[in-house]
Structure 1
Amino acid sequence: MFSQNKGLAKLLSVFMLVVIGTVNCLYEDQIKKFDWRTTQIGRLDQAYVELNGFQPRLLVSTKENVIASLCPKSGEVLWRQVFETGPRGSIKLMQLSSASSGADATAAARPGSAHGFDLLTVQGHAPALIRGWNANTGNLEWEWSLMPLQTEKALSSMWFYQNAMIYHVLPVWKSHLEVTPYFATSGQATGNTAKITAPWISEEKCILAGTYFTCIEGSQLISLDLTANQPQVISKALGETPVKPIRAMEGINGVIVVDDKLVGVKDDIPVCNALRGNSFTLGRFNNQNVIVTANVKDKYLNIDGYISESCQQITELTNSMPYPDHYGSPVIKSFDCKMNRNNDGKGCLFITDTSDDSILAVQQSKSRWTRSEALANIIATEFIDLPLADSEGELEKEMKGKAGDDTSLETDIVSAFIHRISSQVLHFKSLLLHVIGLGSKPSATQKAGLVRDAFGLHKMLVILTKSGKVFGIDNMSGKQHWQLYLDNVEEFSNGEQMRLLIQRTSKHFPLHALCMVVAKDKTTGNGVLYRFNPITGQPAEGGLLQLNYQIKQLSMLPETDTDFVKGILIMDSNNKVQVYPEHAKSKANGLYMYTANKATGSLNGFYVKYENSQLTTLPLWSVDLSGHNGDHQIISVASKNPIETVHSQGRVMPDRSVLYKYINPNLVAVFTQASDSIHKYLLNVYLIDVVSGSVVFSMMHRKVRPPLHVVHSENWLAYAHYNDKVRRTEITTIELYEGKTQANSTVWSSLRAPPMPLVERQTYIIPTLVTSMRETITERGITSKDVLIGTASGSIVELPWALLDPRRPISSSSNGREEGAMPYIPELPLPTENMINYNQTISRLNYIYTAPSGLESTCLVVAAGLDMFVTRISPSKTYDLLKEDFDYILISIVLVVLTTGSLVAKHLASRKSLKQAWK
């Protein structure tokens, strides 16, 4: 028996040695060395803070369908639960057991059961999920569901909690209300559904204020008490018609906010009518109900507390602190006070939501902590090169001279040499003074560590979010160096997001970098331009510019002016064009633009002409993709990356000939979708030259529907879609080739009618749901291309293009096979070692952005969803960089030995030759 165990142990040891040799993993010391992640919860919706319990807690729900527990001291996420996106995961109600108006939470438990709930949530509508959570751990303790009979009406359903009962309110607009009570923890109905006739209710004018369903009708409030045995219509005159929409006052039953003042739906509801403000919340202080308000005046955040019934101000709750502009307008959500002997209010914590999607905690007139939840909705990112160090900048300035000066140092070699020597002397002097402590003080960017490195890996990450908040973040450490907020801006009318453009990089010393945000004004609908320095976050070139027209299309000019600024070409709704800055108008002459109408499925091309100091547009072509029934709509338009560089112009064939790539920089992929009575879904793919308007290639998919994610690069196109017939996600790839001869090897022209390309296409099966796709990009395009695929599980898979290549041969024979071509297999492998974020899961991953670095082998990556992940990857390994464990001492010794040996051998050889000469 012992010998058998000994033999088994030896066999197991041999097996482990074999397996360990095949492991490909991330070393422990490399974790978070080249990457970092932020964890977000989204914009705040509801908040409950409790400081007097056994364990202080801050429970929140957000508009991103997330519930979470935050540490009241630091704002750190203790736990979170992320629900589905859209109406299916929307949080209709969040209720704490201790905030249930004194009701016993366990009173609604099943007979014989001792459990109730710490936290109760109602989520979705078809079905609605009622769940009980452990507030300390975030674990689900119980749940029950409710499936409505008519799912389309259930979308507007409402819920409220009262005395261990949960009420489901289903409004049928312009008709009646259906109210059904249930035991909160069991889901057992306590009675029949009550139908209350209410023909005046409408979705735009009605809200649920506690147990009262309240509507505004002209200058009157009309309410119904939904918990009454016989609900009666309660009417109250307001005196004048409200200007702003009404909203419920959280915490007080039957109190609403009408034009920034508190109003009770009935006269016998005690409320402080004298208060004015757009932000109220209810809490307890010294065993009294207290209303707390928050407002901003003279750049100070003022928080005041009043007794709910008498409006008497409580001075202990007064807080005032400096309030930066980038927070926007504050809305106080919750507060609580830690009980102490003095009851001086110093232990009070106020939780505030701001219009820039931040969460601000205030205590003792100071900011206790802040969470920037705008990062949960990233729409655009850019990597900006950091400025040179002061000494390197001076050398750069001396070597370049003034831009545009014909007598600059570039044309005077002697002067350039003299200035170079003098610059080196100044550098040595500066170094010496710095060593002895008498050197000049470092600049602000140097103090912050914002100095360009040798390999171009250290950059400023500029992020634009959906709320209009812009961040400047160090891509190496994740530190937020600056932030600014653009108030009253939003996405464009057709669903297109705001744009972040780079007009000038940091490579033109001493000129600073320049970025621009293009958005739409919420009030007027006209365009808005905001220019700023991406390194410091300060406004530049005038900052905010309000346009007097709506933006239809925009494009960056390919050439720069004398200040190295790229102009922006903007087309308005009347097809007129403007250029900013205006002195760059002449550089827009001869450009081509196109517009796409998603609803009608049409594309139009224009030619921009500059004549007599005026810019005009000439319509060139029009393409109708709406189909014979006119029901096809454009769902996606994908163009190539404008900074992409194509290194290889062809592909070597087995017979040693070259198959040249069809590299058309004007090629755009357009996807349309329509419903079909036979095939259910139709997806059309069009490759269109947007200069000539010619359709280069088209293809139709049947029984295929979104989600659709597209990557368009070089001569290939890859897009992920859902095959409804076989119920799986697939990736289709297309490659275009000119053939064995190249039409024009120097300059591409869409106007010379190039030959139609050869098209290769293939479809692969991917065993996961794709949420985003992006190709890698490097500075010169030498490195192999990989495709980054974001999955629904929150991982980012790096797939080499060789796996997606449509020219993968069907046959496994090696005869006549292209170099590097693998045999075709329908299923794409997703090995765990190809997941670049290893165990750093990104919730709701929907955005990936890549940018080149100074190293040709390395690509910078930003992935975002609810969380954000920043890293760098090397698709072809770091072939241009020495390894970290490179033995410098050994190579130095080898070089010294070889050098010494060569000198000794040379001396011995000369002596030998001399002796031979004397013989």
Structure 2
Amino acid sequence: MRSLRNCISSLLLVVPLFLLYLPQVQALHESDVGVVDWHKELIGVPLAGALATAPIFHRVGETSVILTATGNNVLAALNPGNGSIVWRHVHEAEDRIAGFYKHGNLVATLSGPGGSTLRTYDVLKGTLMLEKRLHSPESGHLSEPHHFGKFVTFSPDGQYAYVLTNGHTISKINSLTGKVDWIWSSEDKTSLIIYSKVVVAPTAIYVIGVSKSIASFTLHAVALSPVEGDILSTRDFPSSISDAFTGFLTLSGSITTAPQVVWFEEGSIKSIVLTAILNVKVTTVNHSKFERILDVGVSGQAHFVAVHTDGSARVMGSQFDRPGLKSLGEFTKSNDMVEPIYAAGVDEHDQVYVSRVYWAPSIMKAKADVLSTRSATEKSLTSIEIPFDTRTHGILGHVTMDGSASSGTVVRTLIMTSTGAIQLWKRGDLQWTREEGLAATVVAEFVELPEQVQTSVRGDGEESFLSRVVRQIGDAQNFPQYLVNFARRFATGSYASPSSPATASSSEPLARDTFGLRQVVVAATLFGKVYGIDSGNGNILWSRVMGLGWAGEVGGQIQPMKLFVIKAVGDPDRPNDEGGSGPQVALVAQRRADNSLVDTVLFHIDPLTGEEIARQVRDDDEELKQLTEEENVLQGIDVVSGPVVEAYLMAAGDSKMVVMLDEYLQVYLYPDNPTTKAAFAKHASTLHFPLRANTPNGQRRLVGHQVALNPSLSDRYVGYSTWTLSLPEGEDVKTIIPAAKGPVASIGKVLGNRTTLYKYLNPRLFVLLTAPHSAGPAASGSTGKKGEKPAPKTCGVYIVDSAKGTVVYRATLPPVDGISCDVKAVLADNWLVYHYYDDEFSGEGKTKGWKMVSVELYEGKGIDEKTMSSDMSSFKRESADVLSIEQSYIFPHAITALATTSTKFGITTKDLIVATQTDQIQSIHRRLLNPRRPNRKVTAEEQEEFLIPYEPVLFYDPKRVLSHGYQVANAQRIITTPTVLESTSLVFVYGLDMFLTRVAPSNTFDVLSENFNKVQLVLTVSALAAAIIFTKPMVRRKRLREKWYQ
């Protein structure tokens, strides 16, 4: 009997734990992949500033790819046929790509400081063939541009790679095994001589560089033995090169011909032929005056472009049979030409094609003049018109091309635009476009869609009775079809479900779906473009270029700062609202001109169409008005003549406004009208905000502010300091993280013993992250006062009340390698989670690795203490009475971003969404991060709270990986938004890639399951109805008989 009772008690303990883990084992079904989520794989905007990283066509046999390195530190190969990614390799942030160098079926890269790491890949498959560390990153020489002083070239058979690193070291390396045959290093390792080119010849390996002189650079060359690496000869050539990066180039053709070095010097072009003893004379090109020389990527075929001062240009090449250069073709001067770009390519027979691509204002198209030089006597110039859309993609940025021997002219032209797009054109036809600017997204927000308007009813009150009857009869003609469809849906169960695709016809206007799963993601990038993305499938609904305004005359760029939804679906209409009744967003950006002037501009946009709701154009400037309307470029509104230090969205009653603070802490509002001014004046006293301020020793501190109006001095509210947070010595302000906003369904947590812990819900809280001060004694390792030890270097996590600077919670963390702090944190309601790396593993019970800490804040100093923190003033004594409960866990991975889910009413349990450095998006259940998990066997009362025993490790659970098979690389931010379903939240992740999915932390409790048997329900109800109808007369007769016998 006792054993039976023990068995029953064991079952009572196991069953609740099993039920607790049920929500955690909900995995994404294979059939839902690509339906409830989508993944946009990107490579980033190509680094077109140098040939070592710019896109280039490369052909292996009959297959060709486009190779490129990008600003997101990615090496990638694209399919020229459709623009898809053939393969890509994402490098770590500290392993910056210096350049890639192709040869046959291999492509080599140098990365890291000074080119510390060499890798070779298979061109067509992207397979890593070799990875070799050439020197330690600490000994690498930093240079700008990063590719300078680094180079890789191959022997003709591809067996050996000659690698230049640090600007002075050459290594001969077997490209397959990585074996180093020899290393040569320059005796002068200072910055006086820097080598940047390597040329392979049968008799010598030539290392070309420049030596610094008083006013210019002098060409320097070294000839090395290919077998032993010994110096054969070295020489400085009489030269005066003004640009060490682009002022000279090397030409090499057939292995039987000697290579040459060409440089530009004071309007003329000079060259030398390289020999093993370097005893050659300098020759000069006898043509009109030149402006510059350009390496267009065909120096390996002994071709380059020389530009004259009058705007014309020549294709130059080696003569091979004797020293000097010859002209292979000419591009004449054109008056209908804006900033020409020169590019070149080769066909399958290694024949060279050179093009000049430019914008032609007379035809409002781009033109490509293509020069083909098949032989000394056969030359042809072809002109191709390219209908490039400058309204959508900005201006031409960089061009590369591919040739075709069969057609005798260019068949493919690859164009990079100023907005970050990559386009491939076949003659004048656009083949595909990749919006790689999305990899540089700075800010993004969800915008809910309005419901679809089914009918339009006259609202003038003049509709007659007869007209109303006729209209209603017409509306009722679809009622039979509606009944048929309803019956079919009910019988077959073909209702919309949370796992249904949230898509709609492209011909229909944007409208909300049944559960609000379809929304618009508005994203702004560093390349001056705003996108509207369909959350249902990731398609781009619209895109707009942000205009430079006055800075367009001198050049500049737009840097987005903040994006706010200033009007959402359901918000009341504002008086004199130009945007109508639909949703609206406001993008605050800084316009930085090339002449160093900075101002702040605001773009007021309709998120459904991308149209500009309000713009600032002078009434007398009719030409600019017409231009902006035709080009559909966002002009924006100049709101601040200078930079802004911070911007906020303030909700005051029914009004939403953007509050901006300039460098003098003056307040600017948008919209700036009597309604918003009155609303702001009413609530100005409740506005508290922290700002970073510098101290005389360079350390930043945190200062709280409020705003006040002094009519005698200014007509604007001005911020003034109210408190200063004193940080420990050596700590510096790193990041300010605002608390996540959202509804709170419960203000307390009822425990198993029927007592309550009331949540600390102070709406003025924010998270402060600190790091060691780089200029302080703690960071430098020196002592402050004589005989005193320096303060230890620490990282800090603070929860601060913005009203008076009270520190509600504080934690001190160790820095990574004693220098940097890689801490990620999020605060939602009364729940703080932060993640950091702990390398202090000395002592019992400590370990080295990534840790995640969960903290919950409650009112008072114990249970059943209620202080009404959500409504209480921060200046009351009770506001500082906070109970913090925390627990730390070991997390298996580093993370790059984290956020919590958000729902419509805040009833659903919040899950933690994290992006790991393993390129996965993972969901962690709130119960696993409950800091009250007991470090023992749970009691009966704790079982009622669904508490589980504490385990120090948050094990990796593949069922909780939201991205399943997708590799979501370099995620930088996670944003979540509610849907119409309380159970479901949308999660959007952006960084290098973009990823969107749906999560239901507490399962879809508000929707019937998809496998719910609706047919059985209909049959059951029908059978019950039939039974009632059949038995009702029987019951009536029975009661009648009973009355006769009573």
1:798 is aligned to 2:923: yes
Question: Once the two structures are superposed, what CA deviation does each residue of 1:152-207 show, in whole Å capped at 9, x if it has no partner?
Answer: 52555622345627565567xxxxx62535356256365632346997789xxx98
**1:32 maps onto 2:34 in alignment:** yes
Q: 1:325 to 1:908 in 2, by over 3 A?
A: same
Q: 1:640 aligns with which of 739, 744, 747?
A: 739
Task: Please say if 1:548 is aligned against 2:641.
Answer: yes
2:652 to 559, 567, 570: 559
> Residue 539 of structure 2 is aligned with which of 475, 479, 484?
479
Provide the residue aligned with 2:606 in structure 1.
533
The equivalences for 1:616-635 within 5 A come to 616-628=717-729, 631-635=730-734
Judged with a 3 Å threshold, the aligned counterparts in structure 2 of structure 1 residues 59 and 594 are, in CA distance, closer, same or farther, namely same
Match of 1:284 among 334, 346, 367: 346
Distance in structure 2 (CA, Å) of the matches to 1:580 and 1:762: 43
Conservation of the 8 A alpha-carbon contact between 2:114 and 2:137: no
CA contact (8 A) 1:720 1:730 kept: yes
Residue of structure 1 aligned with 2:151, choices 160, 182, 204: 160
Report if aligned partners of 1:234, 1:265 keep a CA contact under 8 Å in 2.
no
**In the alignment, which residue of structure 1 is the partner of 2:438?**
375
Shift of 1:522: 2.1
Superposed CA deviations along residues 868-917 of structure 1, whole A, max 9, x for unmatched, are: 21110100000001122222221111122223333444444334333433
Q: Are positions 1:606 and 2:705 aligned together?
A: yes
Letter paired with 1:294:
V
| Alignment-derived partner of residue 79 in structure 2 | 71
Are positions 1:720 and 2:720 aligned together? no
Conserved in 2, the CA contact under 8 Å of 1:127 and 1:148? no
For 1:839 and 1:747, the matched residues in 2 are separated by 46
Structure 1, residues 830-852: CA drift from partner, whole Å, max 9, x if none? 21111112112212233221111
Which whole-Å CA distance do the structure 2 matches of 1:647 and 1:426 have between them? Answer: 45
Question: By how many angstroms is 1:230 displaced?
Answer: 1.7
Whether contact under 8 Å (2:983, 2:1003) holds in the other structure is yes
Distance 1:287 1:831 in 2: 53
In 2, Cα distance between the equivalents of 1:847 and 1:209?
A: 42
Q: 1:624 to 1:746 in 2, by over 3 A?
A: closer
Alignment partner of 2:415: what SS? strand
SS in 2 for 1:706: coil
Give the Cα–Cα distance (whole angstroms) in 1 for the partners of residues 567 and 342 of structure 2: 45
**Alpha carbons of structure 1 residues 122 and 448: separation in structure 2 relative to 1, 3 Å:** farther
Q: Partner of 1:803: helix, strand, or coil?
A: helix
Secondary structure (helix, strand or coil) at the match of 1:691 reads coil
Q: What amino acid is aligned across from residue 289 of structure 1 in structure 2?
A: V
Contact 1:293 1:305 in 2 (8 A): yes
1:193 and 2:259 matched: no
Partner of 1:732: 853
Displacement of 1:39: 1.2
C-alpha contact (below 8 Å) 2:968/2:993 kept by paired residues: yes
Q: Corresponding residue for 1:92?
A: 98
Identity of paired residues, percent? 22
One-letter amino acid matched to 2:185: T
Structure 1 residue aligned with 2:665, among 569, 575, 583?
575
Distance (whole Å) between structure 1 residues aligned to residue 265 and residue 870 of structure 2:
78
Deviates more, 1:359-368 or 1:266-275: 266-275
Q: Residues 245, 448 of structure 1: CA spacing in aligned structure 2 closer, same or farther, 3 A cutoff?
A: farther
Question: Residue 586 in 1 paired to residue 649 in 2?
Answer: no
Residue correspondence of structure 1 range 10-21 to structure 2 within 5 A: none
Tell me how far 1:693 sits from its aligned partner: 2.5
Counterpart of 1:151? Answer: 139
CA distance in 2: counterparts of 1:316 and 1:462, whole angstroms: 42
SS of the residue corresponding to residue 778 of structure 1 reads coil
1:869 and 2:995 correspond: yes
Structure 1 match to 2:524: 464
Stretches of structure 1 lacking an aligned partner (at least 5 in a row): 1-20, 99-116, 172-176, 402-408, 410-414, 436-443
Cα distance between partner residues in 2 of 1:646 and 1:313: 75
Q: Which runs of structure 2 are paired with 1:80-479 in the superposition (5 Å)?
A: 80-86=88-94, 88=95, 90-98=96-104, 118-125=106-113, 128-147=116-135, 151-153=139-141, 158-162=149-153, 164=155, 178-180=168-170, 182-183=172-173, 185=175, 186=178, 188=180, 192-195=184-187, 213=209, 223-225=219-221, 229-235=234-240, 237-238=265-266, 249-252=296-299, 268=324, 277=339, 279-284=341-346, 289-298=352-361, 299-306=364-371, 314-316=380-382, 318-340=384-406, 342-343=407-408, 345=409, 348-391=411-454, 394=456, 427-428=475-476, 447-448=507-508, 450-479=510-539
Q: Which letter maps to 1:363? A: K
Q: Is the 8 A contact 2:852 2:889 kept in 1?
A: yes
Answer yes or no: is 1:596 the counterpart of 2:691. yes
2:766 matched residue in structure 1: 668
Match of 2:168, SS?
A: strand
Is the Cα contact below 8 Å between 2:149 and 2:168 reproduced in 1? no
Partner Cα distance (2:559, 2:885) in 1: 32
One-letter amino acid of the counterpart of residue 735, structure 2 = S
What one-letter code is carried by the residue in structure 2 that aligns with 1:334?
T
Q: Which residue of 2 aligns with 1:700?
A: 812
Are 1:775 and 1:787, in contact at CA under 8 Å, matched by a contact in 2? yes
Distance of 1:606 and 1:208 partners within structure 2? 56
Return closer, same or farther for 1:880/1:163 CA change in 2, 3 Å cut-off. Answer: closer
Aligned-partner Cα distance in 1 for 2:353–2:181: 35
Shift of 1:775: 0.4
**Alpha-carbon distance change, 588 to 238 in structure 1, aligned in 2, over 3 angstroms:** farther
Take 1:725 and 1:487, find their aligned partners in 2: how far apart are those partners? 51
Distance change in 2, residues 1:448/1:733 (3 Å): same
Report the number of matched residues: 831
Secondary structure of the residue aligned to 1:95 is strand
Normalised by the length of structure 2, the TM-score is 0.72
Residues 274-301 of structure 1 show CA distances to partners (whole Å, capped at 9, x for unaligned) of 6783522222369753332323344422
Shift of 1:446: 6.7
CA distance in 1, matches of 2:431, 2:566: 38
| Contact 2:585/2:604, CA 8 A, preserved across alignment | yes
Q: Residues 911 and 216 of structure 1: is their aligned pair in 2 closer, same or farther, counting only changes over 3 Å?
A: farther
Decide which moves more: 58-67 or 834-843.
58-67
Distance in 1 (CA, whole Å) between partners of 2:293 and 2:724 is 47
| Cα pair 1:386 1:506 within 8 Å, conserved | yes
Alignment pair present for 1:521 and 2:616: no
TM-fit CA distance, 1:730: 0.3
Deviation at 1:782, TM superposition (A): 0.2
Q: CA RMSD in A?
A: 4.2
Query: In the alignment, residue 771 of structure 2 is paired with which amino acid?
Result: Q
Distance 2:360 2:73 in 1: 33
What's the secondary structure of 1:825's corresponding residue?
Answer: coil
What does residue 111 of structure 1 align with? none
One-letter amino acid of the structure 2 residue matched with residue 689 of structure 1? D
1:530-553: CA deviations, max 9, x gaps? 121111112111251233121111
SS in 2 for 1:767: coil
Does the 8 Å contact 1:588/1:608 carry over to 2?
A: no
- Partners of 1:756 and 1:513 lie apart in 2 by 41
Of 809, 822, 828, 2:934 maps to 809
Change (3 A) 1:237 1:763: same
Aligned to 2:10: none
- Which residue matches 1:768? 893
**Closer/same/farther in 2, CA of residues 215 and 541 from structure 1, 3 Å limit:** farther
**Per-residue deviation at 1:477?**
1.9
Report the Cα distance in structure 2 between the residues aligned to 1:661 and 1:421, rounded to whole angstroms.
57
Q: Contact 2:192/2:212 (CA < 8 Å) preserved in 1?
A: no
* Shift in alpha-carbon separation, 1:246–1:697, aligned structure 2, 3 A: farther
Match of 1:16 in 2: none
The separation in 1 between residues aligned to 2:1008 and 2:197, in whole angstroms, is 65
Distance 1:238 1:126 in 2: 31
Task: Provide the rounded CA distance (Å) in 2 between the counterparts of 1:537 and 1:619.
Answer: 38
